[in-house]
């Protein structure tokens, strides 16, 4: 589907702000609305339908149902509620049932706070101020955001891994969900990198996915939760990581992904580029492989198959090829990373195990184990 035809949605932050606005209107003006307008940070004005607006003693409650458009999102359809009550002064924003609590440093909110990000908090605050001015109300308002379905939905997210427990996060920077699943994935990668950086002594490990995580656990006895899975976005991950207070980065990857980096390909999805056999073939030729071997490599389907062929043909040329490939991988990664952060690599295959690794990988792993056992 062309991106222009995709449906946009709105964030949990927009839902929370609209629900808070509606609840305060009922509290201060006595009006129960079926829908409410919301000015988003992106400049788009939304007209959002409300659900189950009612009084509960001296407090008011209103809900707004999340709509994600064509962006895949486990929170699609969840109802975000706001409870409003009068207090003596100020505007207090809290999280209730189904809203996660921050337990690790590195996120937008301090440890112990409800996982309601800065932009949604500002949106809620602005909505409350707007209605207080309209009602000429001089005292304070307390808003509690809650989502009864949030506890179960949170189990399908990265929240617990990020250090958010007990529920979902209230998110959004623009108020709008743009139908780009890649953007959502990149945002989650960046968030996880930030958490890892804030809770480490300067070291971080990146993998491409489950292959890398399982290899870490089996061969280096590192908890798979310690690594950040970057999928195909190694270039974007490096661009973000170099802005963090880190000393060293270890990238652990299967040869099928890492060989692309040797060719300077930093988005490793096959729809962008391949050239795996071409890259292996060139490095094999540099290492001394004859034209017949190179031609056989070019006819292989997988990188693993090509390396098995090369090793069976000549172990020394195979080893020299891997050293040549590793040198190029390091050149491209370090160039993109810059000089501030030291880079290390481990390249492996399912059948051959570790193919090549950085010279100082032992020291990196020792430091990493020490800091995680403190």
Q: Enumerate domains of the chain plus CATH numbers.
A: 3-177 (3.30.2110.10), 181-372 (no CATH)
Residue found under tokens 């020299």: 320
Residue 7 has pLDDT above 90, yes or no: no
Q: For all residues of the chain together, what is the average pLDDT?
A: 92
pLDDT band at 255; cut points 50, 70, 90: very high
Task: Indicate the pTM of the whole model.
Answer: 0.68
The DSSP-derived string for 195-242 is HHHHTSSSEEEEESSHHHHHHHHHHH---GGGSEE-TT-HHHHHHHHT
pLDDT at 372: 65
Residue found under tokens 């990373």: 337
Torsion of CA 31, 98, 154, 63, to 10 degrees: -10
pLDDT at 1: 33
Residue 213 has pLDDT above 80, yes or no: yes
Residue 171 has pLDDT above 50, yes or no: yes
| CA-closest candidate to residue 267, choices 336, 326, 328 | 336
pLDDT at 113: 97
Residue 3 has pLDDT above 80, yes or no: no
| Tens digits of residue pLDDT in 52-88 | 999 999 999 999 999 988 876 889 999 999 999 999 9
pLDDT band at 21; cut points 50, 70, 90: very high
pLDDT at 273: 86
Instruction: Tell me the mean pLDDT in the region 277-284.
Output: 97
Residue 2 has pLDDT above 50, yes or no: no
Contact 325, 283 (CB under 8 A): yes
| Tens digits of residue pLDDT in 307-325 | 999 999 999 999 999 999 9
Q: Round to whole Å and give the CA distance between 123 and 118.
A: 9
Q: Round to whole Å and give the CA distance between 332 and 264.
A: 6
pLDDT at 367: 78
């Amino acid at each position: 589907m062309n991106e222009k035809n995709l449906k946009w949605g709105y964030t949990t932050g927009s839902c929370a702000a609209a629900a808070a606005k509606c609840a305060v209107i009922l509290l201060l003006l006595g009006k129960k609305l079926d829908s409410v307008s919301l000015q988003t940070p992106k400049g788009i004005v939304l007209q959002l339908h409300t659900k189950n607006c009612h009084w509960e003693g001296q407090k008011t409650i209103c809900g707004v149902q999340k709509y994600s458009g064509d962006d895949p999102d486990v929170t699609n359809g969840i109802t975000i509620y706001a409870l409003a009550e009068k207090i003596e002064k100020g505007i207090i924003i809290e999280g209730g049932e189904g809203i996660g609590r921050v337990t690790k440093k590195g996120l937008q909110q301090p440890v112990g706070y409800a996982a309601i990000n800065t932009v949604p908090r500002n949106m809620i605050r602005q909505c409350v101020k707007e209605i207080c001015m309209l009602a000429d109300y001089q005292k304070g308002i307390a808003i509690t955001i809650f989502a009864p379905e949030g506890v179960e939905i949170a189990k399908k997210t990265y929240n617990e891994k990020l250090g958010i427990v007990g529920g979902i996060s209230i998110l959004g920077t623009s108020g709008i969900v743009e139908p780009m699943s890649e953007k959502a994935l990149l945002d989650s990668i960046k968030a996880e990198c930030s958490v890892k950086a804030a809770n480490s002594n300067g070291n971080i490990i990146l993998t491409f996915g489950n292959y890398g995580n399982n290899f870490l656990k089996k061969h280096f006895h590192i908890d798979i939760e310690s690594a950040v899975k970057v999928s195909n976005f190694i270039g974007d991950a490096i661009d973000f990581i170099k802005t963090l207070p880190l000393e060293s980065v270890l990238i652990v990857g299967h040869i099928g992904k890492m060989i692309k980096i040797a060719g300077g390909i930093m988005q490793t999805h096959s729809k962008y580029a391949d050239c795996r056999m071409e890259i292996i073939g060139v490095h094999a030729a540099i290492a001394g492989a004859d034209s017949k071997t190179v031609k056989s490599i070019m006819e292989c389907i997988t990188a693993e198959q090509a390396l098995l062929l090369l090793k069976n043909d000549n172990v020394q040329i195979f080893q020299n090829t891997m050293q040549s490939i590793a040198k190029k991988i390091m050149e491209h990664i370090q160039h993109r990373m810059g000089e501030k952060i030291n880079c290390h690599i481990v390249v492996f295959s399912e059948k051959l195990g570790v193919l090549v690794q950085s010279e100082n990988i032992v020291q990196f792993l020792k430091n990493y184990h020490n800091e995680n056992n403190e």
